């Protein structure tokens, strides 16, 4: 029987490659297994938990997941890459940690469970953490806008049910912690007491969606990350503001009662659908004051006519001081004002009138194409408009066509001419 000969390793670049791979594979060691508890369904980009990567391989510069449904960040946070649905069976995947300089690789086995059973003891070798029967839940939390403190201001205490069985340390992340505005919130790691460090403007930040974490002393996740929304309660600290400093409207004279003149509008930066943004409009002052001509709807800001005495020949322009007040117009509401200028447009409601009942003129016999008389008239309508411009007609006495009358565009007078010679004997 032939004796098996030992295999000679290939030489050259291929040999070096195989040798390198063999060394890398040999250096791959397993770290402690980790159990993470997750709900039956997780959408994409949701956090699953955190794993202590530094304890396994502190020098790792390459982190990989064996399961494409999960991605692992440098801090050990595990996120879903796609929607994950848990069945009754357990699910697991491996996190590979590599130090490419020393060609060292280690792996962490991650077991995913959807389990409600209470585990009161931990196997030191396996370092398995499971959820208790009741998942820790966020307590509704809010803080007053522009709070006067004292700071740091206690908000609430966060507690994980896992604290019944293990020594738990708490931490938080999110906007207001490690994102702008930085260091607004902090949590005492031993007690779970959550604090705010300074006042907050609701108009800048109306809610903070923090994430709370519960972990053991060795950095393993003791429970699911807890969404911790903190709502900023509104304070009535913003005056309502009119959209225009001066409104300009026009309305025809002799308009009917109820005619809409225009609409004023104001905005308020406080929280919508609250008393802080419930606005009421009113007219503080009308100039000239008498008679009262206008009214404004308290809720809509629509200005209407309330009187028949809208006569341009009496008053051509009105000025209104408008007021808007929040808190539904209650006396303690915040106030702003604006000016409303209303121009009364002319209507042809005035007939021209002669200044005299009789006019006399003389002309030389046989003269023609000469001006013999100017007839002034009065018209109270707006000067230099069609409503004011007079139109003269000879009703009687010009049967033979000796005369013509026209209008002087500058003075609005009637100008009478002789256009055919007159015979004195006739």
Give pLDDT tens digits for 352-400.
Answer: 999 999 999 888 888 889 999 999 999 888 888 888 899 999 999 898 8
Quickly count: other Cβ atoms within 10 Å of residue 121's Cβ: 7
- Range with the poorest average pLDDT among 17-21, 29-33, 267-271: 17-21
> CATH number of the domain at 348-426, please?
2.60.40.60
pLDDT band (50, 70, 90) for residue 65: very high
The CA-atom distances, in angstroms, between 225 and each of 3, 29, 121, 404, 412 are 62, 29, 22, 100, 88
Most confident of 125-139, 159-173, 278-292: 278-292
d(CA 197, CA 250): 54
Tell me the Cα Rg of the chain: 45
* 17, containing H or E segment: helix 12-26
* Contact between residue 406 and residue 417 where contact means Cβ atoms under 8 Å apart: yes
- Structure confidence at residue 135 (pLDDT): 56
pLDDT band (50, 70, 90) for residue 15: very low
How many CA atoms lie within 13 Å of 349's alpha carbon, on the beta-carbon side?
A: 12
- Structure confidence at residue 24 (pLDDT): 38
pLDDT band (50, 70, 90) for residue 127: very low
- Range with the poorest average pLDDT among 138-142, 308-312, 341-345, 379-383: 138-142
> Residue 62 region, left (φ>0) first, then alpha (ψ -120 to 50), else beta?
beta
Q: What's the CA dihedral at 204, 207, 208, 211 to 10 degrees? A: -160
CATH assignment of 241-345, among 3.40.50.2000, 2.60.40.60, 3.40.50.300, 2.60.40.10: 2.60.40.60
Whether the full predicted model's pTM is greater than 0.95, yes or no, is no
Strands, E assignment, 33-76: 34-37, 41-42, 47-50, 62-65, 70-72
- Phi, psi dihedrals of residue 260, rounded to the nearest 5°: -80, 130
**Chain region(s) in the chain for CATH 2.60.40.60:** 21-113, 141-233, 241-345, 348-426
Tokens of 33: 């297994």
Alpha helices in 257-359 (DSSP H): none
Partners of 267 in beta bridges: 241
Domain 21-113 has CATH 2.60.40.60: yes
Question: Which fold, 141-233?
Answer: Immunoglobulin-like (2.60.40)
Tokens of 48: 């699953």
* Mean model confidence pLDDT for the chain: 84
């Amino acid at each position: 029987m032939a004796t098996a000969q030992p295999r000679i390793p290939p030489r050259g670049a291929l040999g070096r490659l195989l040798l390198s791979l063999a060394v890398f594979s040999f250096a791959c060691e397993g770290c402690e297994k980790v159990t993470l508890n997750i709900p039956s369904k997780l959408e994409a980009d949701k956090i699953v938990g955190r794993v202590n990567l530094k304890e396994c391989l502190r020098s790792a510069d390459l982190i990989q997941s064996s399961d494409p449904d999960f991605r692992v960040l440098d801090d050990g946070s595990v996120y879903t890459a796609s929607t994950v649905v848990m069945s009754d069976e357990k699910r697991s995947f491996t996190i590979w940690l590599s130090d490419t300089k020393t060609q060292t690789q280690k792996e962490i086995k991650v077991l995913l469970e959807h389990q409600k059973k209470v585990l009161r003891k931990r196997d030191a070798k396996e370092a398995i953490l499971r959820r208790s029967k009741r998942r820790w839940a966020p307590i509704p939390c809010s803080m007053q806008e522009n709070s006067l403190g004292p700071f740091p201001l206690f908000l609430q205490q966060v507690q994980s049910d896992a604290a019944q069985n293990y020594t738990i340390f708490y931490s938080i992340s999110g906007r207001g912690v490690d994102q702008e505005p930085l260091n607004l919130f902090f949590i005492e790691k031993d007690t779970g007491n959550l604090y705010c460090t300074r006042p907050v403007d609701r108009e800048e930040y109306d809610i903070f969606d923090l994430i709370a974490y519960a972990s053991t002393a060795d950095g393993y996740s003791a429970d699911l990350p807890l969404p911790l929304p903190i709502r900023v309660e509104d304070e009535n600290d913003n005056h309502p503001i009119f959209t225009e400093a001066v409104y300009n409207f026009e309305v025809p004279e002799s308009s009917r009662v109820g005619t809409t003149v225009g609409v004023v509008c104001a905005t308020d930066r406080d929280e919508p659908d609250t008393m802080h943004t419930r606005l009421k409009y009113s007219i503080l002052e009308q100039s000239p004051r008498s008679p009262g001509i206008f009214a404004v709807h308290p809720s809509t800001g629509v200005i209407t006519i309330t009187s028949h005495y809208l006569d341009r020949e009496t008053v051509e322009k009105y000025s209104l001081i408008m007021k808007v007040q929040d808190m539904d117009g209650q006396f303690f509401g915040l106030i702003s004002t604006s000016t409303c200028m209303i121009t009364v447009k002319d209507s042809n409601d005035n007939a021209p009138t002669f200044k005299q009942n009789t006019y006399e003129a003389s002309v030389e016999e046989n003269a023609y194409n000469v001006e013999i008389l100017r007839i002034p008239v009065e018209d109270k309508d707006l000067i230099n408009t069609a409503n004011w411009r007079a139109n003269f007609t000879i009703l009687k006495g010009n049967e033979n066509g000796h005369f013509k009358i026209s209008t002087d565009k500058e003075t609005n007078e009637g100008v009478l001419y002789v256009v055919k010679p007159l015979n004195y004997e006739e």
